[in-house]
Chains A and B, each alone.
Chain A
């Protein structure tokens, strides 16, 4: 049985899962539901620009976004194996999932950093 590198992907999955579980619900709710529906008054453009452009925020946000992608990649890969029984395509699926996550992270790096 060959040594597997799954431990590496699983670590990213776990980190991504924990971070997204903590941060994403509040962010999603505030930005995409509460503000458009007028329940809360969002910050002014100047304030939000200042906050988001701050180097620290950008690094943290990049970490969150990148780990979210890797969390998705690992979980979705196994869902395809188990849910749709596509295990025979495992190389292709692995490349698509992790490749997608890497691509997403590169995009995030380009935009954010």
Chain B
């Protein structure tokens, strides 16, 4: 859990074990090297991707509360990386994109303003993306903000599978 949000009295009488964030290389003492996560985050393009930017004259994008609620929990990610330390797959395979990166990819995929689904799918539908996840579920348990990355990844797998079958059928149809 987040040390900034944990009350020692809750864990009394202890003992308490303080360790650096698991699954990240340790620089010194409790400081870990998190460049890997940052790179993965950049890799999933966590911004609104559009074919063409909407001109200012057309006004703002409209989004209903229902549309927002679809991906709202994924916006809550604070990049604390607790999910990475909880995920055994990430610990075993540092190439895995990881829960937060995939949840944030979903956050933009499900955003109705975004058009980057295909791009992200091409980057993430492989052995180091969504398909390495074995749905252990610990990421969602560890998340202090209830982002539920496990659910995000499951939905992504469904979308990825649908996408695969669609391209398979259209390829065969040619």
A and B touch in the complex (CB under 8 A): yes
Does A41 belong to the interface (CB within 8 Å)?
Answer: no
Known contacts A10-B161, A11-B165, A82-B134; A4/B89 CB under 8 A:
no
Beta-carbon contact of B89 and A7 below 8 Å: no
Interface string of A9-41 (1 = CB under 8 A from B): 011001000000000000000000000000000
Q: Which of B93, B123, B161 contacts A7 (CB 8 A)?
A: B161
Residue of A nearest to B88 (CB): A82
Interface string of B81-96 (1 = CB under 8 A from A): 0000000110011000
Task: Show the binding face of B for A, using Cβ within 8 Å.
Answer: 88-89, 92-93, 122-123, 125-129, 131, 134, 157, 160-161, 163-165, 168
Beta-carbon contact of A1 and B129 below 8 Å: yes
What are 19 A-B residue pairs whose CB atoms fall within 8 Å in the complex? A1-B123, A1-B126, A1-B127, A1-B129, A2-B126, A3-B125, A4-B125, A4-B127, A5-B164, A6-B126, A6-B127, A6-B131, A7-B157, A7-B164, A8-B165, A11-B165, A79-B134, A82-B88, A82-B89
Q: Which of A5, A14, A87 contacts B93 (CB 8 A)?
A: A87
Given A4-B126, A4-B127, A87-B92, 8 further pairs, Cβ under 8 A: A7-B157, A8-B165, A14-B161, A79-B134, A81-B93, A82-B88, A82-B134, A85-B92
Complex Cα distance, B128 from A11, in Å, reads 18
Does A72 belong to the interface (CB within 8 Å)?
Answer: no
Secondary structure call for the A interface = helix
Task: Show the binding face of A for B, using Cβ within 8 Å.
Answer: 1-8, 10-11, 14, 78-79, 81-82, 85, 87
Secondary structure call for the B interface = helix
Residue of B nearest to A5 (CB): B164
Beta-carbon contact of A78 and B134 below 8 Å: yes
Known contacts A3-B126, A4-B127, A6-B131; A82/B161 CB under 8 A:
no
**Measured between C-beta atoms, what is the minimum distance from A103 to chain B in Å?**
23
Residue of B nearest to A12 (CB): B161
**Measured between C-beta atoms, what is the minimum distance from B110 to chain A in Å?**
19
Q: Which of A7, A78, A81 contacts B163 (CB 8 A)?
A: A7
Interface centre among B88, B125, B127 (most CB of A within 10 A): B127
Residue of A nearest to B129 (CB): A1
Beta-carbon contact of B92 and A10 below 8 Å: no
Residue of A nearest to B93 (CB): A87
Beta-carbon contact of B92 and A82 below 8 Å: yes
Beta-carbon contact of B164 and A8 below 8 Å: yes
Residue of B nearest to A14 (CB): B161
Q: Which of A1, A3, A5 contacts B128 (CB 8 A)?
A: A1
Contacts of A2 in B (CB 8 A): 126
Complex Cα distance, B164 from A5, in Å, reads 8
Contacts of A3 in B (CB 8 A): 122, 125-126
